């Protein structure tokens, strides 16, 4: 039976354009700071407005019987709510949907109450959805892994022997995960030219973006236990857009034998709105055929991929408008989120509420669907020419990268909003 909250025929009393990322079928959760208020509030996006869950609770509009009285009004981030699990998330989203429906007059016909409970999103400062205790970055796009491997080792050795058998990943730096709109300084570190005898220290000359999606964990698992592929989705609070910025020249020198370090820990940007798997359910699809068949603990009996349209735009400091440089899709991911979670925990590792698990760079099979500058400019050998005549092989100071994503429904979109950030000059040392 279809979830009535996802019914394409549902309409809100708030006018939501058909290309808005936040119709009533979506209702993503986020955290914001509102002018005149001391503490952050939880919210749900609807069109160009946000339902303030604290104000809606205090006004008596939003009562979830399974939650303590006033619970939603007392929270300053989503962490405690995320830890409560799928039944609570589902009931809360359903009750928010009822408040916002076109046939419900409780907010629709009371302007003062609407002003109190539905601030314009443009007036709010979005924050990280929750404290992120741990961050894991996977490497789940076969096209991306093949492209990078081809550049490094040639096409005959593009994929390492383990890649087709397990979701490769590394543990990243959680403290430098930032919300969309947070600009960052060009990182510094050691690099070594191929013809040099010794490394040098200085700003990276090869700063790159990485087009990714991420999941935020709700309830975790106890140390010494694991989560199966069939149980994994119930541990996912929702999904966000991710840009895992990279310094390719620093990475090239430092990554052997233990992997990325300074090349990746300076900034990872995520979108502020968390889209629930319930909202994405109509767009769940089977992923790519996996051959060889994964080991038993990685097998999925149900479709676990999502048809999410992804775009990357670039705006240089001399451009008045952005230009699209990549058009991709989450459907290309070889390893899905259920397999990632099952593999992450199969050795007894305990996931925690708020953990961020990113997909790794998402690239498609065509030249315009590549998810990084490394691939778009093919390791600097094919400079990318922009509409104003500028060229790029990697990102310059003042370049702003924006990632957007959505699922296209019948007359509506389930969108993520955007994740954006600008490269600032390296800070002096």
Q: How far apart are CA 390 and CA 380, in angstroms?
A: 14
The CA-atom distances, in angstroms, between 309 and each of 26, 31, 108, 332 are: 15, 24, 33, 11
The CA-atom distances, in angstroms, between 121 and each of 21, 56, 124 are: 13, 16, 5
- Asked if 307 and 329 count as a contact pair (C-beta separation under 8 A), the reply is yes
CATH architecture label of 4-8+15-127: Roll (2.30)
Single out the residue of 196, 185, 189, 172 nearest to residue 249, CA to CA.
Answer: 189
- Asked if 340 and 138 count as a contact pair (C-beta separation under 8 A), the reply is yes
One pLDDT digit (tens) per residue for the chain, 429 residues: 456 899 999 999 999 999 999 999 999 999 999 999 999 999 999 999 999 999 999 999 999 999 999 999 999 999 999 999 999 999 999 999 999 999 999 999 999 999 999 999 999 999 999 999 999 999 999 999 999 999 999 999 999 999 999 999 999 999 999 999 999 999 999 999 999 999 999 999 999 999 999 999 999 999 999 999 999 999 999 999 999 999 999 999 999 999 999 999 999 999 999 999 999 999 999 999 999 999 999 999 999 999 999 999 999 999 999 999 999 999 999 999 999 999 999 999 999 999 999 999 999 999 999 999 999 999 999 999 999 999 999 999 999 999 999 999 999 999 999 999 999 999 988
**Cβ-Cβ contacts under 8 Å for 154 (sequence gap 6 or more):** none
**Range list for CATH 2.30.30.230 in the chain:** 4-8+15-127
**Cβ-Cβ contacts under 8 Å for 124 (sequence gap 6 or more):** 32, 33, 34, 43, 50
Show the DSSP H helices in 274-321 as ranges. Answer: 277-280
Show the DSSP H helices in 70-220 as ranges. Answer: 71-74, 79-82, 86-100, 105-108, 111-117, 142-153
Torsions phi, psi of 58, nearest 5? -65, -25
Active-site residues, by number, are 144
**Structure token pair of residue 21:** 């990322």
DSSP state of 428: P
**Cβ-Cβ contacts under 8 Å for 359 (sequence gap 6 or more):** 138, 140, 141, 212, 213, 214, 242, 330, 333, 337, 340
- Asked if 212 and 359 count as a contact pair (C-beta separation under 8 A), the reply is yes
Left if phi > 0, otherwise alpha if psi is -120 to 50, otherwise beta: which for 181? left
**Structure token pair of residue 51:** 């339902």
pLDDT at 1: 41
Q: Which residues of 130-146 are buried (b: 16+ CB within 10 A; e: fewer)?
A: bebbbbbbbbbbbbbbb
Q: How far apart are CA 130 and CA 316, in angstroms?
A: 31
pLDDT at 64: 94
CATH architecture label of 135-424: Alpha-Beta Complex (3.90)
Give SS3 for 142. helix
Q: How far apart are CA 63 and CA 110, in angstroms?
A: 19
**Range list for CATH 3.90.850.10 in the chain:** 135-424
């Amino acid at each position: 039976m279809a979830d009535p909250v996802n019914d394409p025929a549902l309409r809100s009393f708030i006018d939501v354009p058909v290309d808005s990322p936040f119709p009533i079928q979506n209702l993503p959760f986020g955290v914001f700071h509102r002018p005149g208020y001391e503490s952050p509030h939880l919210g749900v996006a609807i069109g160009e407005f946000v339902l303030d869950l604290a104000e809606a609770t205090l006004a008596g509009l939003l009562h979830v019987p399974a939650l303590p009285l006033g619970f939603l009004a007392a929270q300053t981030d989503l962490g405690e709510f995320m830890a409560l699990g799928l039944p609570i998330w589902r009931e809360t989203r359903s009750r928010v949907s009822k408040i916002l429906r076109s046939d419900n007059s409780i907010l629709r016909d009371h302007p003062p109450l609407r002003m109190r409970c539905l601030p314009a999103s443009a007036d709010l400062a979005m924050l990280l959805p929750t404290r992120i205790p741990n961050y894991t970055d996977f490497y789940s796009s076969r096209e991306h892994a093949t492209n990078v491997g081809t550049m490094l080792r040639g096409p005959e050795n593009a994929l390492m022997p383990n890649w087709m058998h397990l979701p490769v990943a590394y543990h990243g730096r959680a403290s430098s995960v930032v919300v969309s709109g947070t600009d960052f300084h060009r990182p510094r570190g050691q690099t070594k030219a191929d013809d040099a005898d010794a490394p040098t220290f200085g700003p990276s000359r090869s700063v790159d973006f990485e087009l990714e999606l991420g999941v935020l964990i709700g309830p975790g698992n106890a140390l010494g236990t694991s989560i199966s592929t069939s149980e994994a989705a119930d541990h996912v609070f929702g999904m966000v857009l991710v840009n895992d910025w990279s310094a390719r020249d620093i990475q090239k020198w430092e990554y052997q034998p233990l992997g990325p370090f300074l090349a990746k820990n300076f900034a990872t940007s995520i979108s502020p709105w968390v889209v629930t798997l319930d909202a994405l359910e109509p767009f769940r699809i089977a992923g790519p055929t996996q051959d060889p068949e994964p080991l038993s603990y990685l097998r999925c009996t149900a479709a676990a991929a999502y048809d999410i349209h992804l775009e990357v735009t670039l705006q240089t400091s001399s451009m008045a408008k952005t230009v699209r440089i990549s058009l991709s899709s989450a459907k290309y991911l070889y390893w899905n989120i259920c397999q990632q979670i099952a593999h992450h925990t199969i050795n007894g590792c305990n996931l925690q509420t708020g953990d961020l698990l990113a997909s790794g760079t998402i690239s498609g099979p065509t030249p315009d669907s590549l998810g990084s500058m490394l691939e778009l400019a093919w390791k600097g050998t094919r400079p990318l020419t922009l509409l104003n005549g500028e060229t790029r092989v990697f990102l310059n100071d003042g370049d702003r990268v924006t990632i957007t994503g959505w699922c296209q429904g019948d007359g509506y979109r389930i969108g993520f909003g955007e994740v954006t950030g600008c490269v600032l000059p390296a800070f002096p040392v």
